[in-house]
Homo-oligomer: A and B are copies of this chain.
Amino acid sequence: MTRSLVGTPALFIPGPTNVPERVRSAIDIPMEDQRAPDLPEFTLPLFADLKKVFKTESGQVFLFPSSGTGGWEAAMTNTLSPGDKVLIASFGQFSHLWVDLCQRQGFDVEVVDVDWGEGVPVERFQEILAADTEHEIKAVLATHNETATGVTSDIAGVRGALDAAGHPAMLFVDGVSSIASIDFRMDEWGVDVAVSGSQKGFMLPAGLAIVCFSQKALKAAGSATSRRCYFDIADMIRTNKDGYFPYTPPMSLIRGLRASVDMLFEEGLENVFARHYRLAEAVRRAVSAWGLSLCATEPKWHSDTVSAIYLPEGVDSGAFVKYAYQQYGISYGVGLSKVAGRVFRIGHLGALNETMILSIIGATELVMRDFDVAFQTGSGVAAAVEYLHESNKNIRDIAA
């Protein structure tokens, strides 16, 4: 099968991300009783701490055993009724799938198509909202970080659009590949439902949707008639308040989540965000030095969690990704849908550091060299090293 079975595989997909040893240890435990008398001593502080990750005081966080897709379903079905109108922009595979979910759940979806490589069109949204004088739009949906294109959108801007239009619609954010990696402010930005997942910035295996509802969204659940049971927050609210769950929770993941949140707090959320920016920028410098371009069309769209990189004309990015995996044990993200065959993606989120980022930049040079991609060997690493060197004041201090 693959040749390079030896050594540690290099996992640079935009999720699942590398699980830190400490989190692995926290997960790899014997089973426990999900109805144990002392479980609330564990769960209640965890629920409280998760709110800090979302930067909310009034919101409530729910943990569903599901993927992020289930988180979307929880967001939509708990707050809306079939036929309700929602506004969303489609500019990548994941925003596209969200549209699809809304349609299948029976909502009236107003889709704004945007070129892949750009993000939520704030001004266009504002126009639409301003025009919606009847307030038929019940929710505005925004993909914070489009994982397929490496594009980060301006959620504060969307909030601004709602406010400028004086529109009462709820604001839902897909933060699956942003929250805990890129700054996210539930309360400040007036977000009503934020959806995240375990396998990205939370550095856990897949299997847990982490969803935060504002008080407004919680209230909306009272009148939402979408049929729901598994994802019904009512059952969660009733049992979570005592520290339990309505059905068997995936306790090993939840134990791991405790370790993950501890690690985020020990590093400091702002430091986590700064680290993600710095490592992402190192990758971008390398891409630029190689003479390649990103899918994200402008710096304002640059994602600090994933870079989608165009290979030169004539190079099949699917073959490139497959070769890297088989030859060197490297996992890149493939190009999806509209950019299939053209981009490959480097996920740079989660438990990463300088050495790891330099490993994927260096290894990408080797893969490109094998694939006869024209570039100056060493140039990407050189650019990344120079940037990492210059950007880190602490380094210079210590070295002095």
Q: Interface range on chain A: under 10, 10 to 19, 20 to 34, or 35 or more?
A: 35 or more
Q: How far is the CB of A45 from chain B (nearest CB, A)?
A: 14
Q: How far is the CB of A286 from chain B (nearest CB, A)?
A: 10
Determine if A5 is an interface residue (Cβ-Cβ < 8 Å).
yes
Q: How far is the CA of A390 from the CA of B228 in the complex (A)?
A: 51
Contact with B along A346-389 (1 / 0, CB 8 A): 00000111111011111101100111100011111111111011
Q: Which residue of B lies closest to A11 (CB)?
A: B31
Q: Which of A6, A21, A37, A232 has the most CB of B within 10 A?
A: A6
Contacts of A398 in B (CB 8 A): 323, 326-327, 370
Q: Which of A4, A34, A399 has the most CB of B within 10 A?
A: A399
Contacts of A41 in B (CB 8 A): 1
CB–CB A267/B6 < 8 A: yes
CB–CB B351/A227 < 8 A: no
Contacts of A69 in B (CB 8 A): 229-230, 246-247
Determine if A275 is an interface residue (Cβ-Cβ < 8 Å).
yes
- Which of A53-61, A101-109, A164-172 lies at the interface with chain B? A101-109
CB–CB A73/B230 < 8 A: yes
Partner of A331, one of B13, B33, B100: B33
Partner of A7, one of B68, B251, B353: B353
Contacts of A207 in B (CB 8 A): 65, 207, 250, 252-253
CB–CB A389/B369 < 8 A: yes
CB–CB B352/A7 < 8 A: yes
Determine if A87 is an interface residue (Cβ-Cβ < 8 Å).
no
Q: Which of A8, A35, A330 has the most CB of B within 10 A?
A: A8
Determine if A337 is an interface residue (Cβ-Cβ < 8 Å).
no
- Assess A230 versus B6: contact at CB under 8 Å? Given A385-B366, A398-B326: no
Q: How far is the CA of A377 from the CA of B376 in the complex (A)?
A: 13
Contacts of A2 in B (CB 8 A): 38
Determine if A239 is an interface residue (Cβ-Cβ < 8 Å).
no
Contacts of A72 in B (CB 8 A): 230
- Assess A381 versus B362: contact at CB under 8 Å? Given A69-B229, A372-B399: yes
Partner of A385, one of B263, B330, B351, B369: B369
Q: How far is the CB of A353 from chain B (nearest CB, A)?
A: 3
Q: Which residue of B lies closest to A101 (CB)?
A: B229
Q: How far is the CA of A263 from the CA of B29 in the complex (A)?
A: 17
CB–CB A370/B396 < 8 A: yes
Determine if A125 is an interface residue (Cβ-Cβ < 8 Å).
no
CB–CB B389/A385 < 8 A: no
- Assess A365 versus B385: contact at CB under 8 Å? Given A27-B28, A247-B69: yes
Q: How far is the CA of A7 from the CA of B267 in the complex (A)?
A: 12
- Assess A205 versus B378: contact at CB under 8 Å? Given A37-B325, A67-B247, A396-B370: no
Determine if A197 is an interface residue (Cβ-Cβ < 8 Å).
yes
Q: List 5 A-B contacts (CB under 8 A).
A: A65-B206, A69-B246, A230-B231, A327-B398, A328-B354
